[in-house]
Structure 1
């Protein structure tokens, strides 16, 4: 199943928690619309949404995560092993975690979480990284995929704008794991460029499914 992701598009189907779209059945419907148009994989947040998507689309690979805010940590993408357990039990085929070396809510470290996921849950891990150094550490820890998800979104990279194709090229030449381009991809041309560089696959979210943010962008110019 996971091999079908190679050289293909993964669409992230998520919605802000205060959006009327933040409903498992609606997210599943959006996911099905994306698959109907050729998406080969999905990235889904939270156990309830993952369950709904897998029920509707059992044969489509799902990268699952659980965004946990308010835990007194800047790490929020599947920050604890207990969150990974819930994501796994919901049916995710790959578990995405924040793979930076920042402090986590309960003192676990990135390497421990990756090891526990692989040994106790038997699921591949997508390591969401922000820097080359953290990508190297995630590879050492046993991550199966390295994603550029957090480039531009952490304290260390907040002044950088994704996607950075020079950074992606450096990752591909340095890391001996499949690289998934994610973050800031806005056009079909950028998807093609990432694949031509050698990325395993590309994740697009807001540019396709971010209805709330896209609507706001257009309405803002009318004010």
Structure 2
């Protein structure tokens, strides 16, 4: 399926997040794949999933586009959604149609910022679709300028600048 077809398949539909972290009761690739199946049966047009293992299990269960992320903590670093090239590599290798990553201007675990890291990622994976998870309008505009294919306000209310806010300004 070509990238434009993947985009059109998602347009206007429900994307369901099927994620559970290691310390959560539903953590299991098998369970996440069954949650994705239930979501598809309920009308979802796409799945958002965490880690290559879960993505592969989900892709074995449903034929829906997957937005892949890798939540990884690096000490006190506030960037944890696909924070480095290593996590990007793993998500691309998993077969996710879209790789989502923190698109904020915050310092990443390796000391870089998205405006430096993303051009490197785009050069390495020119045909891959990418989503920027952002918290502010300014970050969304920056992500668009950097060449992300999708921008999502996933981090609104979770960053230092937007913590506790309920409405975008």
**Unaligned runs of at least 5 residues, structure 2:** 1-5
Higher-Rg structure is 1
Q: Check if 1:99 corresponds to 2:103.
A: yes
Task: Determine if contact 1:68/1:79 at 8 Å carries over to the other structure.
Answer: yes
Tell me the residue number matched to 1:130. Answer: 135
Query: 1:44-87 CA deviation, whole Å, 9 max, x = no partner?
Result: 01111111111222x31000000011343100000001110100
Of Structure 1 and Structure 2, the greater helix share is in 1
Supply the distance in 1 between the matched residues of 2:59 and 2:75 (Cα, whole angstroms): 28
Between 1 and 2, higher relative CO (CA 8 Å, sep ≥ 6) is seen in 1
How many residues align? The count is 163
Q: Which runs of 4+ in 1 moved over 3 A?
A: none
Q: CA RMSD in A?
A: 1.4
**Are 2:45 and 1:40 aligned?**
yes
Give the corresponding residue for 1:78.
82
Report what 1:64 is aligned to.
68
Partner Cα distance (2:157, 2:13) in 1: 23
Distance in 1, matches of 2:92 and 2:75, equals: 21
Secondary structure of 1:3 counterpart: helix
Partner residue, 1:213:
none
Q: TM-score, normalised by structure 1?
A: 0.69
In the other structure, the counterpart of 2:165 is: 160
State the Cα deviation string for residues 172-222 of structure 1 (Å, max 9, x = none).
xxxxxxxxxxxxxxxxxxxxxxxxxxxxxxxxxxxxxxxxxxxxxxxxxxx
